[in-house]
Amino acid sequence: MRTILMPLALMLSLAACSNAPQEAPKSAAAPAAPAAKPEEAAKPAEAKPEQAAAAKAELPEGACGDQSAVAKEDRLANTPRWTTASEVDNFGYDVFRGDKEEGPFTKLNADPILGAGTTDETKNYSYRDDTIDPCREYWYYVESIDTKGMREKFTPVFKAGAKRRAAGTAPAPTPAPQAS
């Protein structure tokens, strides 16, 4: 079996890019996680875990559908991120998205995200997908490409949840706490 990459650690995460105006200058890279809302930061320490989980699970209301009329920097996005501990003959990566866990999947990036060739250094990668409908969930995976053009599925399929719910719809019901 051929080894393209020898990662010691593979981390996958998805980050929602906030569409709220920011005071700090915008950088080319997407933030690792959405900024905390002021009301979340002021929550008392004695809040019960089930209340905190319910508040976090409730999606904000907003417009659904195509975001192409929205400026790129203001669009909600999913940002798959992955890390390699080392790489061997790595040309790059392609990112794929599907509407269901079992697919079908579509390649998102026009050109490969360039890899580091051969290195023992840790490398971090990401791809900002701002072509989403913020009211839908999506499934992603990353494929590696070696310097000979061989492709290999690099990550398992992973889910990115919806970023908001349609305006005027009720929040999803929260499950009743279970007695212990």
User: What is the structure's pLDDT at 89?
Assistant: 97
Residue spans of the chain under pLDDT 50: 1-49, 51-55
With CA atoms as reference, report the closest residue to 145 among 119, 113, 123. 113
pLDDT number for residue 148: 97
pLDDT at residue 178, as a whole number:
61
Q: What is the pLDDT of residue 47?
A: 41
Q: How far is CA 109 from CA 53, 93, 113, 128, in A?
A: 34, 9, 8, 10
Q: What is the pTM of this model?
A: 0.67
Burial of 111 (0-12, 13-18, 19+ CB in 10 A): exposed
Helix, strand, or coil here: 40? helix
Q: How many CB atoms lie within 10 A of CB 61?
A: 15
- In the prediction, which pLDDT does 128 show? 97
pLDDT at position 13: 41
The pLDDT score that the predictor gives to residue 41 is 32
Q: 52 φ, ψ to 5°?
A: -65, -40
Q: What's the rounded Cα separation, in Å, for the pair 155 and 63?
A: 31
What pLDDT shows up at residue 155?
96
Six token digits for residue 152: 């290999």
Residue 39's pLDDT is: 34
pLDDT of the residue at 24 = 34
Domains of the chain in start order, with CATH, are: 1-15+73-163 (2.60.40.10)
pLDDT at 159: 97
Query: What is the model's pLDDT at position 180?
Result: 56
Predicted local confidence at residue 58, as pLDDT: 79
CB 153 within 8 A of CB 141: yes
Pairing type for strands 138-146 and 151-153 reads antiparallel
Q: In the numeric block, which tokens belong to residue 137?
A: 């969930």
